Structure formats: structure tokens, C-alpha cells
Amino acid sequence: MIPIISVILPIHNAEKTLKETLDSLICQTYKNFEIIAIDDGSKDSSLSILNKYSKQEPRLRIISRTNKGLPHTLNEGIGLARGKYIARMDADDICLPIRFEKQIAFLEKNNLDLCGTQIQEFGLNSRKSSLPITEEGCIIKSLFSCSFKKRSKASLSKKHRSTKLIIIKINNSSCCFFQSCNTTIFKYI
């Protein structure tokens, strides 16, 4: 079965957090997804952890290679994705069990190509991200700063995955990103 969501999971020396990240993905209430885990030249036991999980989790696809950096790794993941949507995870992230279920329902109901969610940081620097929640707020914020924080979790439809510009601009400038997608309407859930 072709997955609806392709989760791009770049990994570099993440042995301390990777198990918790994978557990949070595997426990999703929405089950039709693949995990594209790209080990970007880790020197720790990250690859060993991935191999252990892959024996029990058929949705996990592992790519291991020398370090090429995050932008290259994300673009490689997009190239390998089979799903209609892309979901981003970092190897030190944990997602709530209903994340994909809510995002897919929202994207499909509203015929959207992109959605993002707020994040709750934990540990030493605990805080909740302060992103706008209205369409107008998103547009205003995108004029002056990046609406997608480095760790924001976006789901992106397949029709907007054709160039490297998309990934680079998610991390650098939401204005350029939305211009490349030819859309001015975006909403947060």
C-alpha cells in the first residue's frame, strides 16, 4: 500500500533521543505512513538503534551514508518519499499520538497543501512557540519574519516538492516558501 504520509527523519549522532522519537512515530493513531530515516554519517549508535527498530517496524526505511548536512539530507528524503504528504521530524522530537490524524483531517477537509503546528519545547529551555493562529496573523508574520520555526512541523503536499528551494526556504523564509508554492493562504491548526 502506498503511504499517505512520508515522514522525513534526518539523523546525526542522536542515540540519546532517537528511541523516544521513533516510539512517538510508531504510536501514531493514523497508521498509513512511512518513515524515511536518513542516518547522516552518525558516529554513535544511531544506526544500530534504527536497525533494531526496523526488525519490528516495516514502515521504517533506513538510508545510511556519509555526512552531507541537513539540507542535502532533507532533499534526499523528499526524493525518496512516496506519500501524498511530507511530515518533518527531527531525531530529538517527540510528537503526540494524534498529530498525523489531526493534520491529515485538516489538510483534506480544507483542501490545503501545507499546515504547521505549534511546538512545546521541554527540558532546560521549556516554552511554547508563539506563532500566529489566524490567517491574517500568519500573513503579517510572514512579511517580517519566518513563520516556520526551525523545529516547526509542517506537512507538505506532493505537488509542491519539485525543487530544493522548498526545503531551504522552510528553514529560512516563509515568504519565499509561499511564493514558490504560489499560495497566499495558509492556516495553523
pLDDT tens profile 14-46:
999 999 999 999 999 999 999 999 999 999 999
CB 86 within 8 A of CB 166: no
H or E segment to which residue 88 belongs: strand 85-88
d(CA 29, CA 32): 9
Residue 175: the pLDDT is: 30
Which three cell numbers, joined as nine digits, stand for 140?
503579517
* The pTM of the whole model exceeds 0.85: no
Nearest Cα residue to 47 out of 91, 9, 80, 15: 15
pLDDT of residue 168: 26
Q: What is the pLDDT at residue 148?
A: 46
The amino acid present at 168, given as its one-letter code, is: I
Res 139: pLDDT: 63
Q: What is the pLDDT of residue 69?
A: 93
Ranges under pLDDT 70 in the chain: 117-135, 138-189
Amino acid at 145: S
